[in-house]
Amino acid sequence: MNQHAAIMQPDLSAWLQPAEQLLYLEADVLDRQMWEEWLPLYTEDSIYWVPSWADEEHLIENPELEINMMYIVGKAGLEARLYRISSRDSYASLPLPRTSHVVSSVRITGEAENGDILVSAKWSVLSSDARRGKIVRGGWYDYALAKTAEGLRIRRKKITLLEDMIDGTIDIFQI
C-alpha cells in the first residue's frame, strides 16, 4: 500500500504529537541557526535526501545511482556540512540568509519494519538573502523517525522540492 494513501493506524496515533513537536523543533532551530541543537535531532545512520525530478511527474528513485539535488549519508556527513556553514567555507552560505520555515499537514503514514514511525508533512520556507532577495520554496517532507531513549530522532528525511530547477543555491537550512 502506498504510504501516502494510508490512513493512520489507531495504535500509531499516540506518535502524532511527538512527531509534530520534533518537526516544529527542527524548523525552529534551523531558522535560528542553532546548529548545535539541530544535529542531535538526527541518528548516527541518518539519510538526508533531496531527490531531483526525473521528468515532469516522477522523482528519481535511487539516490546511489541517479543525480540528486542533495544526498548526505550519516550524521558525520551532516556534521561536515555544518562545519562548512559555520566556518564560512561555503559559497552557498555566504552570507547566511534569514529563513522562516512553515511545517504543516503532519501525518503519521505508517510504521517501518524496524519500528520507525513514518511521517509526511508539507513545508514552505521564506529565505531573505542579501544577494538574491526573498525566495519562497515549498514541497513535502517524508521522514522515518527512530524511537530512541531521548525521544524520536530523524533517521531519514526526504525533501521533495516542487521546483525541478533551482536558480541559485540551496543548503540544508533553506529547505
Q: Which domains does the chain have, with CATH numbers?
A: 10-161 (3.10.450.50)
Tens of pLDDT, residue by residue over 19-68, are: 999 999 999 999 999 999 999 999 999 999 999 999 999 999 999 999 99
Give the mean pLDDT of the chain.
Answer: 90
- 53 φ, ψ to 5°? -85, 130
- Give the confidence band of 166 by pLDDT, cuts at 50, 70, 90: confident
Give the predicted TM-score (pTM) of the model.
Answer: 0.89
The H or E element spanning position 149 is none
Do the Cβ atoms of 126 and 15 come closer than 8 Å? no
The H or E element spanning position 53 is none
